Amino acid sequence: MNERQERMTRQRAVILEELKKVKCHPTAYDVYEKVRQKLPRISLGTVYRNLEHLASQGLIRRLDLGPGQRRFDADMDDHTHIRCVVCGRVEDVPLNRSPDITTMYDVVRSQTGYEVMGCELDFHGVCPSCRHESA
């Protein structure tokens, strides 16, 4: 059995199920807190290793947002993210569904000869809550 055919353990299934329930982009610790409600004896290390495994299998997306800023996303549809540089909040931006992104794919394809399968485009700024607090 190779790595691509590795079975879905109960722990992995629960982690994936809990990650799919949220629309936010939780850290490994956030996922651990949710999973512990169903699997009280699971360790943070086990959750982290399984999140990394699920990401390597293409079942979830790992978001590397800088040192100590790794988050996870179960939404595998094409989309971009925006991160608040003040509070760290991460949200989806449905930009990839716009005609401009399709045009960008065409430009990249024609200039490079690549078959474009997707892109990762992340924005950063200050969220409305943090802007409101600083005003």
Output the pLDDT for position 96.
57
The per-residue pLDDT for range 39-82, each reduced to its tens digit, is 999 999 999 999 999 999 999 999 987 777 789 999 988 788 88
* pTM for this predicted structure: 0.77
pLDDT at position 5: 52
Please determine, for residue 2, whether its predicted confidence score (pLDDT) is greater than 60.
Answer: no
Give the C-alpha separation, 32 to 36, whole Å: 6
pLDDT given for residue 94 in this prediction: 73
pLDDT of res. 1: 43
Q: Are 27 and 63 in contact (CB under 8 A)?
A: no
Residues whose CB falls within 8 Å of the CB of residue 86, separated by 6 or more in sequence, listed in order:
126, 127, 130, 134
- 79-134: pLDDT as tens digits: 888 889 898 888 888 765 566 777 888 899 999 999 988 777 788 899 999 999 88
Residue 81: Cβ-neighbour burial (10 angstroms; 0-12, 13-18, 19+): buried
What was the pLDDT predicted at 98?
Answer: 64
pLDDT in tens, 13-36: 999 999 999 988 999 999 999 999
Cβ burial of 28 (10 Å; 0-12, 13-18, 19+) is: buried
Give me the residue label for tokens 């716009």. 98
